[in-house]
Amino acid sequence: MTIEAEAGREPEATKRSLARLLVFLFGVSIPLTNVTRFYLGGTGSAAELVLLGIAAVAVVTVMKNGLVVTRAIVLMAAFVLLSLVAWFWHGAANLGIGEQVHPEGVIRALEYFTAFLAIVVLARDARIRTALVAGLWTGCAIAVLFALGQWRLGPGAAWFWSWGPPWANLYAETGEFRVWGSMGNPLELVTYLAPFLGFAAVLARTRGGGTQRFYLSMLVLLPLAMLVTGSKSALLIVALALVVVLRSGRSVSLLPTVVTLAVVAGVIWLSGATAVIQDRAAGGLWASESSTQRGYVIRAAFRVIADHPLLGVGPDNFSDVYGESYWVTGASREESTFSPENFLLMTAGEAGVPAALCLAALVLLGILAGFRGHREGAEGLSLSGRTLSVGIICYALMSMIQPATAVATNLLLFSLLGLQEAIRVGAPRPRPVTSSPTEGAFGSALSQA
């Protein structure tokens, strides 16, 4: 009987080892999504390939242990379901655009759901959670080094522009040098790095030894990598990180400070949508073509939502609809756009207001879970519930005032939300075995593996 029990442990141990390896590789490959997609022929990325493996292991785990259905899982499922309905519905809609259905719309929604659910299932195991966090930090370090390398080499380096979007060459031609690292867009790079700056700001004062030195070094490198993108939004997140550093380790809650900064960010964003403020600022300190363009796009997004409140215009259709029906002649030199530079407006415009409400509730639930749980992580490269909440807040702040449409940035968001939910739910509890005594003993041995 003992021999059978030990033999039964081997597949379970192999599965856990495979899960640790896959989640580590997934975390590493997230910031390299665009780079690997370019070198894999544009049909898929390393992160998406690893995600398939994670999904397979998660399915096996659910078959053995079952699935605890929580509010977060229901909200995520509702968000994805509404996105899929919007995608299918607008396949036959008359929106006045040439191409009404982008396959990426349905694929991305399923990828986000897979990443979230797989991490909720797998990261309940402490060692798998550690492997995921180590992978996320490794990916972050790679993204920082990639960005700083581009900054140091400058636009003269041929590989700097080789794999990026066509418009990236404009930076080299006009002399407006902005680093976009491995993300394909300077603003997406800032959004990706923002949560890690929040993590480092919290953990630099609560860890010791070599781990603290790592976080301190990231507190130097992360702001530098964000500032060389030329994004003015980076200043906001760097200021937030400074506040978090000064308050970390105290008994005072971080939430009031973060809420205050969120309000300030909201005011800054709304100023771009208010024609009166723009007119008053014409020719002044805050005037710029980019801010004017942002204001017009935001107002256009509200018009899109008003015209299509229930199911939006379909995933990935906002850019086409904006250019065809909502762009105002004379608004700016840029007739095309890919985002209203706000992830809630983007979701409401493309998948409908109900989908945006589900996404907002999911993010808010992930933030509150960390502040309510008061769970502390282990030493090392770990993330407690509260630390995760700070990172999710940093991401939300950035995505409310600039684009967050890239697969990489969204995979990071849903991975962090899944990790937060895994921590909240706690360790997995295998299904009880109620068969014969012999089978019950064998099942008990397996559940302890």
Using 50, 70 and 90 to split pLDDT, how confident is the model at 359?
Answer: very high
Higher-pLDDT residue of 42 and 430 is 42
pLDDT of residue 42: 66
Nearest to 179 by CA among 239, 231, 235: 231
Give yes or no for a contact between 420 and 366, defined as CB atoms under 8 angstroms apart.
yes
Give 8-32 pLDDT, tens digit per residue: 457 778 888 899 999 999 999 999 8
Secondary structure of 62-110 in HEC code, one letter for each residue: HHHHCCCCCHHHHHHHHHHHHHHHHHHHCCCCCCCCCCCCCHHHHHHHH
The Cα–Cα gap between 412 and 100 comes to 28
In this structure, what DSSP letter does residue 32 have?
Answer: G
Longest dimension (CA), the chain: 83
The Cα–Cα gap between 160 and 180 comes to 9
pLDDT of residue 168: 54
Alpha helices in 376-436 (DSSP H): 385-401, 407-425
Please report how many Cα atoms fall inside a 13 Å half-sphere around the Cα of residue 385, on the Cβ side. 20
Give 225-270 pLDDT, tens digit per residue: 888 887 777 777 777 777 766 665 543 355 555 555 565 555 545 5
Give 325-357 pLDDT, tens digit per residue: 776 654 544 555 667 878 888 899 889 999 999
